[in-house]
Amino acid sequence: MSRSSLSLRLTGAHVLRDGMLQDAPLSFADGLIVDDTQAEVDLSGYLLMPGIIDLHGDAFERHIAPRPSAPFPVDMGLRGTDRDAAANGVTTAWLAQSWSWEGGHRGPDAAETLLAALDAYRPHAQTDLRIQIRCETHTVDTRDRLLAAVEKHKVDYVVFNNHLEEALVFAREKPAEIAIWAQKSGRTADEHMSLVHAAFDETPQVPRHLCALAEAFDRLGVRYGSHDDPDGDTRERYSVLGARVCEFPTARSAAAVAKAVGDHVVMGAPNIVRGGSQAGNIQAARLVADDLCDALVSDYHYPALSKAAFRMVDDGLCDLPTAWAMISTNAAKIMDMDDRGTLAPGKRADITIVHPVTHAIEGTIAGGRISHLSGEVAHRFFDVASDTKMAAE
């Protein structure tokens, strides 16, 4: 971006700092939280929260292809995703892109296209956009290609998936689901199942494949985890491998094992907002209540992030500082990002401005730059700009 970051003092608001809401000014300059600065914006009544950090979201897919048969240029999709994230208070976001035997929009070609497009778009981005690779376990023949892409594009987060069993169950019990799955990739059900069986034939090679990937990720400094762990045994195997993030466990046992061995558990914010999983898996709220969940992610819906935080407060699961940490501070800790996640001096100036009554996100500041303004907050910022211009004249 060509414009330099702002230097502002935000006053009158309730600031989430040091684990509690405080009535104190919040200043930032040169992209960082600072002790004080001159120009002032009155945000009386509002909540100033650490910018939301989203570890997993695939809403970008609908910006790139709002209908399966109507794709748009990837750069348009990234721009729409950027604006969508910012409008919902997100300042750092990982776009969850598959690397799968399925091919099509979930295959290596699509992943490499997205990675290259994000490299080109990143200088123009308002939000700190990154890629999380969702690597299907049965992709043995693409290991070198995957590692080359991770290194070239500086991918810092990978999770392992295994959806073969799901495909085999669907083929036996819900053939219509297989037809829908295949159609999304432009194939017939028979063609799709041929790919499933071909991938399944790789099973004996998968353990060594995953170990090789884990060793490479350790060397490259990539954080890695697993997705949709169905039970404790599966989680334990991934944990021993070094995959220390348990993303969307489908059963309590997987989450319990993760926490017992010091791994991180991540669940979907839509699960909290809707009161359960759209896929019929375990309720995220139950894991939160049992202290078995560390962070919430957008999954497929950015607005669910902030909504989930307030929903947990309303439901008596936790207080607001604890709830908000699950969409900001805790996510930063999971990724070892010491430069963000709190509103402490020296940290990145990532700030989400929340209306105290409606809980609407009316402003987002990412790295000291305004990425979103709306409602009364926008008027207050523009009033300051107008006063400053008049004073200069």
Q: 385 falls in which pLDDT band (50, 70, 90)? A: low
How would you list the strands of the sheet with 40-42, edge to edge? Answer: 32-34, 26-29, 8-11, 40-42
**CATH number corresponding to 8-48+356-392:** 2.30.40.10
Report d(CA 159, CA 254) in Å as an integer: 15
Q: Would you state the pLDDT for residue 107?
A: 94
Q: Would you state the pLDDT for residue 187?
A: 79
Cβ neighbours, 10 Å, residue 144:
10
What pTM does this model have?
A: 0.94
Structure tokens at 287: 């894991």
Does pLDDT of 391 surpass 80?
A: no
Does pLDDT of 185 surpass 90?
A: no
Report d(CA 32, CA 208) in Å as an integer: 44
The per-residue pLDDT for range 10-48, each reduced to its tens digit, is: 999 999 999 999 999 999 999 999 999 888 999 999 999
Does pLDDT of 82 surpass 50?
A: yes
Of 172 and 66, the one with more pLDDT: 66
Please report, for the chain, the start and end positions of each structural domain, with discontinuous segments joined by +. Answer: 8-48+356-392, 51-345
Q: What is the DSSP string of 177-221?
A: HHHHHHHHTT--HHHHHHHHHHHHTTGGGHHHHHHHHHHHHHHHT
Q: What is the DSSP string of 349-391?
A: --EEEE-TTT--EEEEEETTEEEEE-HHHHHHHHHHHHHHHHH
Length of the chain: 393
Cβ neighbours, 10 Å, residue 142:
19
Mean of per-residue pLDDT scores for the chain: 93
CATH class belonging to 51-345: alpha beta
Q: Do residues 1 and 123 touch, judged by C-beta distance below 8 A? A: yes
The per-residue pLDDT for range 301-358, each reduced to its tens digit, is: 999 999 999 999 999 999 999 999 999 999 999 999 999 999 999 999 999 999 999 9
CATH topology of 8-48+356-392 equal to that of 51-345?
A: no
